[in-house]
Structure 1
């Protein structure tokens, strides 16, 4: 801290206080050291101030890019990184322009290119970011195939598996560090590419990315981003190929490799990707907290994608049934952070679920400023992003159909479900980008059975909806069998109960509703316990057994209130009158 104090005092005098060019360079170097120290303390505002002052001393010489190139490049790059984290986007762009104009080689432009990609993504110009990634990878000789087929993926997968088969975990952990700057940049671009491709439904190439990261790492050594590739590879094996044991092994290996590599700059990103298989295999409620750990690690290291960890953490907390008051409070913080960072994409992704949470609590009519809901300009930005990105659009319709299911709004459920299913499968099965697919399968399956049952006078259309419900149920059954009964068995029982209700196998449905309720309770999915009780109540009511329905509606009322969904709970009182 003595360094920071001393340099701050020097900076009070400003560039005009130095006596000659040599002294100006000395002070610029002192500001560089002070800025790095502030970054290590995660104080990016102070760091940016030091770097900015350092640049001001260098600018006393018009030829500083020629005479003090390395110092100039480092100061400008670090200033741009801090400005990005501090949401000073105009300053970032000005610094990037200087770097791109004065950098002597392609590698020296790499950080500026990376910051440009982040700026484009946050502003919602994902296609522009993707094109920049692709052109840069091609310049590095690491371009991906333009035509992706199953045979191309299989060939790369087989090659990667063959390479890894002869290498133990200990051997991989002892690999030398990567030193080739172009390969280090390529891995950075591949990991960024992976994160943004699902947003515009360009997912065909995604399986190749972790395979390329691993192949480059085996050839050139391990970089701090190599564990991300192994985590993504584990997710691919587990969630696409249904090889959960092998996939889980590589996810755990990725975390071990992360700890072995000296730099922790990307520890948050490694944890973010590794958590996705873990959240399928291990008890969900405990793994969700690992996303918060990933967020904190990313914030500490200055990872600009930290807010993505926060978004996923909030999403899992809501859909897995964490107490709503705490979820909404956390969502508000994420919305404020995304607004501050001008991250329009994360903000647009978070808002639909946030609004649903408010409605469940009975706060959707509260003053706008209390919720940090959009201003008119921000609302236009949200609409623009929704129109551009099919992944976000599908998530919007999913939230609407889920909300309509819980609030028993059949027409709205049918309209939203039609739009949801018309978009089809988008995103990537082995990467969490919006709402996790298994939650989507659960609620869209329940809605499909409900609609199919309600329109049974239109047999052909009814059968189509029932088939959708069965397809969703089958997907969850696979997860319960191969990944975790803890996380998925209660969901299987509830979908099976609704299916048997549709097929008029009432005795079997009764057993399955009770099983869904008991396993939801035992496995600590409070919201699903409430929903299972409510759907059982509707089952008994609609089959002419009102007296039996009251017990289930009463339990649902209690559990919705326990969750914090007071507005939803109050809707059930009409079924409890006359107890």
Structure 2
């Protein structure tokens, strides 16, 4: 490194000597050219130098002769006729120039004083600004402001300062459209510095826009302190409540992404109260059922599908209510708040009564969750999910498309179709979320993609790579809550792959169990707690830690409200029942009652509508139940049925589990050859899935069965 630095210093010294040999006129023109860039056009150079094209060409001749710059035309004659130098007519050909050596360009630029650079860059920007029609400026806005902003500290006329502020506002909007958040925050801060001292009086609209954008950019960059500062200024200075709605939404989403769920809900209630909406302090089931029942009243005789044709909402206040209510739905759902159904019902009701808004799809889709989970009407839930997707398409509501896709792909589609059908939709939503900058829902979609991939038996080796990548991306995007959830999936996959010291303890590369649990409790993350304990339950059961898994099942049920309706809910019913049926200490009647409660949910709400996803789970639990009851014929038939069902729909980890439990059943019945056949099949299934920790476990516990011929 020291050697390369010495060589660079030598080169700069040589370049400096070369530069001193040039005429003063040439040195001056080259300085301007260095500020334009490595490549520079003659027209801009001549304008900034305030010279004619011909005189500028001649000023560059010596630099051409010394090999410091070059043109795009090798045939260009550097011995240009001297008579042309004084001619007013344009030369026969105007070349394009570039610096032949990057080191020379860098050294030349470094030699220019900061004061000179400010003035030169500003003049370059002004020349380009004059050349570009007003309607075309936004297409070259970054090029323009990057030059002009260098002169922001110059003593500019007020008209030019205002014009530069307006250009930075355009740059902010283009940065938002291209998800260039750090650049956008820079332009917003520069724009604010250009405004007058009493800007909130004299330049109100621009002040409001800059502060809103700065708050949004700061939140997206993870600078939550700056986000709060800019947001609070808007809340204090904006004239009307409607002009404050956007920063309240930003604050809600930022707090949710940080895992500050209670704060997010409090902020939403504060602004909703100002908009005339108040909810009961402690909503009851009666309040919730009444709110949901009102939807049927306002819907009347219309079909759910017909709501896509409602007129567009015009009432600005109602639009603001729907926007705020929808923005806080993730926080309310994850934290298990009873406000969730009230917020959803309110948004749907206003949409039906006053017309659809861009955010109506974000209300219709969650209403599908309520229909599935609370009203136990999956068909109705699917219809509302499809309505939401159709409305997003009709209104071209790209900004909320990730929100709708997340709900449909994570909560509704798998209630009727194979889980793998959710994966392409979720991938589409992830890409769309990145494109429009909806980072909060980029996080939710990534988490649900990893979750659905795991429970649809995607190969563990590729799933580990995908989950690892999503985790790191979400950390970079400052999506703390969903990054936490993805860490659970990542560590669980690592455990199954055999990359953890103890396969039933979620500690390793992705997370440390004790510290991680403390974090989830601190943020009141019911969704995260349910996910964590459900994966822990699965791992404990798979690796024979039955006693511990029995201890955590009570805790898991209390967190179910934070993850109700996603694919891990039926997985919990499966492993909770299997754990109970493996118990040696609990009362048999209590066990059977617990299992029957789970089976009722699994049958009626899951397997009935999507047998391809869940019937084999029901059958496997029934087989284990009959084993406990000593009804061996029925148990044998149901093990076979569970294995066939899991295999037919390619749920390989549950096919493996069913084979393993069947092997244990036959081993207990002293039918070792049959047990060996099932255990070998279980081993092969776990191996195909990639669960090395599980194949190692089987080798350790059942070596004779696996080695028998």
TM-score by length of 2: 0.74
Structure-to-structure mapping, 1:312-323, within 5 angstroms = 312-323=448-459
TM-superposed CA distance for 1:388, in Å, is 4.7
Which position in structure 2 is the counterpart of 1:384?
Answer: 519
Does 1:236 find its partner at 2:366?
no
Structure-to-structure mapping, 1:32-71, within 5 angstroms = 32-58=169-195, 61-71=196-206
Q: Which moved more, 1:311-320 or 1:164-173?
A: 164-173
Q: Report the Cα distance in structure 1 between the residues aligned to 2:188 and 2:498, rounded to whole angstroms.
A: 48
Does 1:535 find its partner at 2:670?
no
Q: State the SS of the aligned residue for 1:186.
A: helix
Is the 2:450–2:489 contact (alpha carbons within 8 Å) kept by the matching residues of 1? no
Q: State the SS of the aligned residue for 1:143.
A: coil
Is the 1:244–1:482 contact (alpha carbons within 8 Å) kept by the matching residues of 2? no
Provide the aligned length of Structure 1 versus Structure 2.
561
Does 1:325 find its partner at 2:461?
yes
Q: State the SS of the aligned residue for 1:144.
A: coil
Unmatched segments (≥5 aa) in structure 1: none
Structure-to-structure mapping, 1:79-478, within 5 angstroms = 79-168=214-303, 172-202=307-337, 204-275=338-409, 276-305=411-440, 306-365=442-501, 373-374=510-511, 380=515, 383-389=518-524, 391=526, 392-421=528-557, 423=558, 425-427=560-562, 429-430=564-565, 432=566, 436-451=568-583, 454-455=584-585, 461-478=587-604
1:547–1:197 distance in 2 versus 1, CA, 3 Å: same
Q: Report the Cα distance in structure 2 between the residues aligned to 1:11 and 1:549, rounded to whole angstroms.
A: 79
Q: Report the Cα distance in structure 1 between the residues aligned to 2:303 and 2:553, rounded to whole angstroms.
A: 47
Greater RCO, CA 8 A, separation 6+: 1
1:418–1:104 distance in 2 versus 1, CA, 3 Å: closer
Q: Report the Cα distance in structure 2 between the residues aligned to 1:68 and 1:487, rounded to whole angstroms.
A: 59
Q: Report the Cα distance in structure 2 between the residues aligned to 1:149 and 1:2, rounded to whole angstroms.
A: 54
The structure with more radius of gyration: 2
Is the 1:279–1:288 contact (alpha carbons within 8 Å) kept by the matching residues of 2? no
Q: Report the Cα distance in structure 1 between the residues aligned to 2:487 and 2:481, rounded to whole angstroms.
A: 10
Which position in structure 2 is the counterpart of 1:487?
Answer: 613
Deviations along 1:446-466, one digit per CA (max 9) or x if unpaired, are 211122xx33xx6xx333233
TM-superposed CA distance for 1:332, in Å, is 1.5
Q: CA RMSD in A?
A: 2.6
TM-superposed CA distance for 1:480, in Å, is 4.7
Q: State the SS of the aligned residue for 1:176.
A: coil
TM-superposed CA distance for 1:248, in Å, is 1.6
TM-superposed CA distance for 1:35, in Å, is 2.5
Is the 2:657–2:682 contact (alpha carbons within 8 Å) kept by the matching residues of 1? yes
TM-score by length of 1: 0.90
1:424–1:78 distance in 2 versus 1, CA, 3 Å: closer
Detail structure 1 runs of 4+ shifted over 6 Å in the superposition. Answer: none
Select which of 603, 617, 624 maps to 1:498: 624
Is the 2:311–2:355 contact (alpha carbons within 8 Å) kept by the matching residues of 1? yes
Q: Report the Cα distance in structure 1 between the residues aligned to 2:233 and 2:144, rounded to whole angstroms.
A: 25
Is the 1:494–1:516 contact (alpha carbons within 8 Å) kept by the matching residues of 2? yes
